Amino acid sequence: MFATCPLRRIRAVTVPAVTRLFASWFGTGLILRRIRGSDLGSGTLASVLTFPVAIWLGTYGTVPQLLATAVVLALAFWSISALVGAEGDAGWIVIDEAAGTFIATISLGWGPGVVALIVFRAADIFKTAFPGVAYAERIPGAIGVSADDVVAGVYGLVAGLLAEAFLFRGLT
């Protein structure tokens, strides 16, 4: 009398799949592994791909950028918390680099934003050369995985604001 519901045949999206989707920043953290078998550089790739979105949001004002930053940070803590026990700070987990990119570009245009992105990536890669970044990474758990990118993002933001004030004055 009752037919089988066709929705039963649809496989449910599991929490780990959604978690991995966010942690890999919608798959950008998996691209280099797929191409060359290594995650090396995945954080930079995720940052470069996030950069235009962060700058585009800035065309609508600082508030949308701040909201996006808060959302990405919340997703980073949530998704990394679920994975850090099994995966550690795996190279394919790049949502923290996306959050750092959003932080580094708050209120900046394209020119100063590029400066901010470069300094952010330099601070994230060469942690010991930027006070506080390596220390933040040593914090245990998901907070430590993300905290170094937050601190590096602040370095990028400061560099971008200085570039805007002194190099791009009147151009942005």
Residue 4: per-residue pLDDT = 54
**What's residue 84's pLDDT?**
81
For 50-88, the pLDDT digits (tens) are 999 999 999 999 999 999 999 999 999 999 998 887 766
pLDDT in tens, 146-167: 999 999 999 999 999 999 999 9
Over the stretch 81-137, which tens digit does the pLDDT of each residue have? 988 877 667 889 999 999 999 999 999 999 999 999 999 999 999 999 999 999 999
Residue indicated by tokens 């909201």: 67
Residue 2 lies in a domain: no
Domain assignment present for 1: no
Domain membership flag for residue 8: no
The answer to whether residue 49 sits within a structural domain is yes
pTM above 0.85, yes or no: yes
Q: Which domain holds residue 64?
A: 14-166
Residue 62 lies in a domain: yes
User: How many domains would you assign to the chain?
Assistant: 1
Instruction: Give pLDDT, residue 139.
Output: 94
In this predicted structure, what is the pLDDT of residue 89?
78
- Decide if 39 is inside a domain: yes
Note whether residue 157 is domain-resident.
yes
Instruction: Answer yes or no: is 113 within a domain.
Output: yes
Let me know if 36 is exposed, middle or buried by CB neighbors in 10 A (0-12, 13-18, 19+): exposed
**What percent of the chain is modeled with pLDDT above 70?**
88
